[in-house]
Amino acid sequence: MASMVTKPGVGQAALSIDVEDWFHVENLKGVIARDSWERCELRVERNTMRMMELLDARKARATFFVLGWVAEKCPQLVRTIARAGHEVASHGYGHDLVYLLRPSEFRADVLRSKRHLEDLIGKPVRGYRAPCFSITDWAVPILQDVGFDYDSSVVPTLAHDRYGQLRGMDAGRPIVPLREGFYEAGISCIRFGRRGLPWGGGGYFRLVPYRLWCQGVRMILRSGMPYVFYIHPWEIDPGQPRVKGLDVASRFRHRVNLHRCEKRFAKLVDAFAWMPLCDLIDRWKGRAGTCNSSSIH
């Protein structure tokens, strides 16, 4: 299947994977306590490796936002991601919602993750994504101060029970300089004024019919805007443990169409030309991109 070829003046597509395990998910926090993580079945390594197989088969490169907790448990996975030519970025350490942390707690969380990832890959980590997109304005100066040069945590939609917000973002300006030398790359939405319908991945990708999803992606790209997609390794894993005690809404949000997602993801990777977020941001700024990855051969 031919990949979509990007052209000057036409939006370009970035693929991102939030590397966390099934028990880290916010939907399950009410029934899986933090102190039980050590006893949960670790499935993130096999699922992430499967995603890399799908990307490698199509010569696609992506950004992997790795949770620091996962990096400590699976250091070889992080090295493998980097050696395969993908960008390694930070998803924080403990998967806490940013706006529920004190600034000092947030700084400690992102520093712990960033330093560990950099020790593993031997290169700077440029990007950050907040768990559940829970970014807030006070976090941005901290991110820049500890050495990040971009964030990708804003979903410019009308409302969501967990998403955070940043001033100055809207669906028509997906890549925005927030401070000198620091950029925000928002998750893609189909634009309705300043806000939009989420069209960047996750449960939305699993729920919307695949052909309709691709039509939306093409519409965004034809508008000249970049397209930013995200997914988690647990979303291609219908065999993950089922937990008791979930309310109906949380169970639906977590498990809807898990059995179809790997096939959909493979088709999506094949349908468009993808790059890591670091390259997308650098191209959007009008300069050649260099990030903590090399081309896949």
Give the integer Cα–Cα distance in Å for 83 and 98.
30
Answer whether residue 1 shows pLDDT above 70. Answer: no
Instruction: Answer left, alpha or beta for residue 264, where phi above 0 means left and psi between -120 and 50 means alpha.
Output: alpha
Overall average pLDDT of the 182-187 stretch: 94
pLDDT of residue 196: 79
Query: What percentage of the chain has pLDDT greater than the value 90?
Result: 76
Per-residue pLDDT tens over the stretch 279-289: 999 998 874 34
Count of CA atoms in the C-beta half-sphere (13 A) of 11: 21
Overall average pLDDT of the 3-23 stretch: 74
Query: What percentage of the chain has pLDDT greater than the value 70?
Result: 90
Answer whether residue 296 shows pLDDT above 60. Answer: no
Q: What is the CA radius of gyration of the chain?
A: 18
For 13-284, CATH number out of 3.40.605.10, 3.40.50.1970, 3.20.20.370, 3.10.20.30 equals: 3.20.20.370
Give the integer Cα–Cα distance in Å for 66 and 16.
10
pLDDT of residue 156: 83
Answer whether residue 173 shows pLDDT above 90. Answer: no
pLDDT of residue 7: 36
Which residues fall within 8 angstroms of residue 102, CB to CB, at 6 or more apart?
Answer: none
Instruction: Say if CB 203 and CB 256 are below 8 A apart.
Output: yes
Overall average pLDDT of the 155-179 stretch: 76
What six digits make up the tokens of 277? 């977020």
How many C-beta neighbours within 10 Å does residue 161 have? Answer: 7
pLDDT-derived band at 160, boundaries 50, 70, 90? low
Entry pTM: 0.91
Q: What is the mean pLDDT of the chain?
A: 90
pLDDT-derived band at 159, boundaries 50, 70, 90? low
Answer whether residue 125 shows pLDDT above 90. Answer: yes
pLDDT of residue 191: 83
Give the integer Cα–Cα distance in Å for 154 and 166.
7
Instruction: Say if CB 171 and CB 194 are below 8 A apart.
Output: yes
DSSP 238-273: TTSPP-TT--HHHHHHHHTTHHHHHHHHHHHHHHS-
pLDDT of residue 46: 98
What six digits make up the tokens of 188? 């893609």
pLDDT-derived band at 297, boundaries 50, 70, 90? very low
pLDDT of residue 10: 56
Per-residue pLDDT tens over the stretch 227-261: 999 999 999 999 999 999 988 988 998 999 999 99
Domains of the chain, by residue range, sit at 13-284
Instruction: Say if CB 145 and CB 177 are below 8 A apart.
Output: no
Per-residue pLDDT tens over the stretch 195-237: 678 899 999 999 999 999 999 999 999 998 999 999 999 999 9
Per-residue pLDDT tens over the stretch 35-77: 999 999 999 999 999 999 999 999 999 999 999 999 999 999 9
